[in-house]
């Protein structure tokens, strides 16, 4: 059994949605719209937990880990919606037109504490050890995960 502590920076994640379309209401009325959405999320965590492992002095070893982590996220959302509408007469001349747009943005921070858990495997050769680990972090309704490959020299 090992006591583990650590810090993980999940980095910045960006998501985008862009949508455009034209709409024909009748042969005398039409419109179009353009929608843009963007979100940036930055997440970090500090963790403390335990690992249970098979004998790490053997050629192969496996283990599980679990604990609690204190996480914090920052996010920024931007949304923009533009639409145009026009009416034409029977000769195709524009009789009336209308354009408008709506923009919104939001910025917030969130933090909390939840569980994390994972598994790992390793292989020892002479004084070297190679390990592969996968850990899942509970964060409200999200579940970011982290996979890592480690190389250790034991002396």
The domain spans of the chain are 2-153
CA 75 – CA 109 distance, rounded (Å):
6
Average pLDDT, integer, range 118-127: 94
Please write the tens of the pLDDT for every residue from 70-105.
Answer: 999 999 999 999 999 999 988 888 999 999 999 999
Whole-model pTM over 0.85 = no
Distance CA 81, CA 37 (A): 9
Rounded to an integer, what distance in angstroms lies between the CA atom of residue 116 and that of residue 47?
A: 8
**CA distance linking residue 94 with residue 92, whole number of Å:** 6
Residue 60 has pLDDT above 80, yes or no: yes
d(CA 131, CA 71): 25
């Amino acid at each position: 059994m090992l006591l583990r502590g650590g810090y993980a920076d999940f980095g910045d994640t960006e998501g985008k949605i862009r949508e455009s379309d034209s709409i024909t209401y009748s042969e005398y009325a039409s419109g179009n719209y353009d929608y843009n959405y963007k979100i940036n999320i930055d997440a970090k965590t500090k963790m403390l937990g335990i690992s249970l492992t098979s004998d790490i002095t053997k050629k192969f070893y496996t283990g599980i880990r679990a604990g609690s982590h204190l996480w914090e996220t920052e996010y920024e959302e931007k949304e923009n919606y533009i639409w145009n509408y026009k009416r034409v007469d029977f000769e195709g001349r524009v009789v009336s037109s209308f354009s408008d747009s709506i923009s919104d943005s939001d910025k917030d921070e969130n933090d909390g504490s939840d569980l994390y858990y994972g598994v790992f495997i390793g292989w020892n050769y002479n004084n070297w050890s190679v390990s592969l680990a996968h850990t899942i972090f509970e964060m409200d309704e999200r579940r970011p995960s982290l996979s890592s490959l480690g190389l250790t020299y034991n002396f």
